[in-house]
Amino acid sequence: MIPTSPSRRARWGALAGLLLSAAAVAQAPPRDPRPLALHRVSIEGKAGAWTVLLRDGRVERVQPASEDVSPAYRVVEGEGLFAASAFLDAAAAAGLAEWTVEVDQDRPVDTGAGVRIAMRQANRKGLRPSWRAADHLSLAKDDAEKWAQAGFGAMAAAPSGALLAGSSCLVVPRDLAARELVLAADLMQHAAFRAPGGGYPSTLMGYLAHLRQFFLDAQHHRELVRRARAGAAVPRPAHDPDLEAAWPLLDGTTHLACEAESARDIHRWLDLAEEFGLKVAIVGGREAWKAADRLKATGTPVVLTLDWSEEAKDPREAEEDKGSKRGKRGRRGDASEEAEAGSSEGDQEDESAPADEPAAPAMDWSYEEPFGVRLDKRLRWEEQRDCAARLHEAGVNVAFGSGDGGAGRLVERLTEAVEAGLPRTAALAGLGSSGAALLGVESLVGRLEPGAPASLCLWTAEPLTEDAKVHYAILEGHLHEFEAKVGGGDPPAEGVDLTGTWTLTDPGSPDDDPMTLTLRMDEEGVVTGDAAAVNPMDGSALSGSVKGRVSGTSVRLETSFTVGPMTVAVEMEGAWKDGAFSGTTTIDLGGQQEESKFEAAKTPDRSQR
């Protein structure tokens, strides 16, 4: 190992001191995020530019951008960005270990004992309401980033694929230990007309009978437990967590989230709910618009997963195109004109082919479905796309969930629905307040106001509009940045060009090894490139990628280096002047920050000498 000199220990504003604490940082629990100031952002429903102050995982204040910001805050420049509360995914088939099958809890059947005189009392095929998602979380880092990049700050990890699959939980999409992911447990019970495994039940009639029997058993079991606790002479109640897990459903204190795409299945669930006094919500809802009146009358919410087929082409547009082409050719009312044209074409053909061998006409063997079939497919697709708008018009409470399609597809298809007529305010409510009210987590998500959790996103355009992308996601105060082209901001000033190789030095430590940046800048000021530096601890080479932006004469660059198990984030903010730029470097390691000055000088291009 190379000896560490005093000058090396001072490089990059005491980076060595930060690295010495790397082991302690790695073992310690996650630190509270540094206070953030999201400067000069636009906010839905508020005119002008604003600064959002975040501290201790909460929104501390929303103030006009003209007001000063304390040096204690790390400033994130948000000019041209739109701030919005992070979305809520109300039903996601992600983040969970596989649902396990248990057929029954009885003793094995004695096949040599003759005919059984009674049914098994605990055939639990497809029935596991005691299964808790909060106890079986498995959210990979890449999956968490997909939800954050799509604009989500919370997702309801929901079990599925069984008659009673268990309860969902609300998680934050971050790379954390399982116990730190959970925002709220036991949100809703989840149900579907499916029962994995062999044997009874295996048909729709059997599924409904099985559910009815289970709820009757749960009612009977609760009465036995009540009498036994009161000292009555009753048979000893069995220990049965599944039956006990159904009691909140029978009391109407917990929603039963029922998977249903067709209108018939929706009515089946509503009939079952009326029979046992259940409070249900429909998940999926491709044909929910057909049952809108009953959903409204019963106050049943719908979590739309927007799981529709690929868009079918509109044959009406094709017919219009054909008509316009025929119109351009003109209407021939004079048969002599057609004959003359045909004669002329025939003369041309005679010049290229022998008279006794006429050219055979080309045959088109491609098959095209009848117009009526293609129109029916298009209309069915439009019904699915417009389902949310029709439910909104009917006054049905609508939320949105990704199901098994992923967060990105949910946002993409909801944007299509907005473009087709769904009010954007209604769509945003379905990703925020409506879903939060359904899950009973209003205090955790869906708000951008003082005191609310610091979970919000900065978008390149208004959310749910064309080309809107998440540039920054702040989850519980922790900043995540994604590649996204920012539409706002001033273009680079005349003469400002960071393309080339630059040497960065610290004027306060002239003996330090410099950092080298090789940059490329486009016409709009977007900067990319590579960074190279020397590890101040052992002299080894470090490398990283650079991204940033130039607005006017302002320069903002970011890079990071991997040092052992740690990631060192480096931010540079400065200004261009006389062919160079200078400013302040902030180094962040595990929540600890150090600042220093830098000056950047361009390295001459020797290839042009």
574 in any annotated domain: yes
Domain that residue 45 falls in: 36-87+440-481
**What's the DSSP call for residue 156?**
E
- Residue appearing with tokens 């719908």: 302
How buried is 366 (Cβ within 10 angstroms: 0-12 exposed, 13-18 middle, 19+ buried)?
exposed
Whether pTM exceeds 0.85:
no
Confidence category of residue 105, pLDDT binned at 50, 70, 90: low
Q: What is the per-residue pLDDT across 273-312, written as a single tens digit (0 to 9) for each? A: 999 999 999 999 999 999 999 999 999 999 999 988 788 8
Structure confidence by residue, pLDDT tens digits, 30-60 = 456 789 999 999 998 888 899 999 999 999 9
Give the model confidence (pLDDT) of 570-607 as tens digits. Answer: 888 889 998 899 988 888 765 566 778 889 998 876 55
Same-domain status, 524 and 454: no
Rounded alpha-carbon distances, angstroms, from residue 170 to 104, 180, 245, 281, 609: 29, 11, 19, 17, 62
Domains of the chain: total: 2
Residue 447 and residue 507 share a domain:
no
Closest by Cα among 544, 568, 570, 571 to 555 = 571
Most confident of 29-38, 266-275, 305-314, 519-528: 266-275
Domain of 51, CATH number, reads 2.30.40.10
pLDDT bracket for residue 337 (50, 70, 90): very low
Domain boundary among 460, 481, 502: 481
DSSP state of 289: G
Q: According to the model, what pLDDT value does residue 518 have?
A: 93
Domain membership flag for residue 112: no
Nearest-angstrom CA–CA distance, 562 and 568: 6
The closest of 77, 62, 184 to 448, measured between CA atoms, is 62
Residue 25 has pLDDT above 60, yes or no: no
Which of 99-113, 172-186, 419-433 bottoms out in mean pLDDT, i.e. has the lowest? 99-113
Does 494 lie in the same domain as 594?
yes
Cβ 253 vs Cβ 186: under 8 Å: no
Residue 534 φ/ψ, nearest 5 degrees: -115, 130
Q: Are residues 581 and 554 in the same domain?
A: yes
Q: What is the CA radius of gyration of the chain?
A: 32
Do 582 and 533 belong to one domain? yes
pLDDT tens per residue across span 381-425: 899 999 999 999 999 999 999 998 899 999 999 999 999 999 999
**Residues 193-222, buried b or exposed e (16+ Cβ, 10 A)?**
bebeeeeebeeeebbbebbeebbebbeebb
In a domain, 44, yes or no: yes
The CA distance from 139 to 97, in Å, is 9
Q: Of 313, 259, 311, 312, whose CA–CA distance to 286 is shortest? A: 259
User: Is residue 472, in this structure, part of any structural domain at all?
Assistant: yes
Same domain, 561 and 457: no
Asked if the model's pLDDT at residue 114 lies above 70, the reply is no
Same domain for 517 and 596? yes
Asked whether residue 407 is assigned to any structural domain, the reply reads no
Mode of pairing for the β-strands spanning 592-602 and 189-191: unpaired
Does 587 lie in the same domain as 550? yes
Q: Are residues 571 and 475 in the same domain?
A: no
- Domain-located, residue 523: yes
SS (H, E, C) 88-116: EEEEECCCECCCCCCCECCCCCCCCCCCC
Which of 481, 514, 535 corresponds to the end of one domain? 481
Domain CATH for 11: 2.40.128.120
Which phi and psi (to 5°) does residue 206 adopt? -65, -40
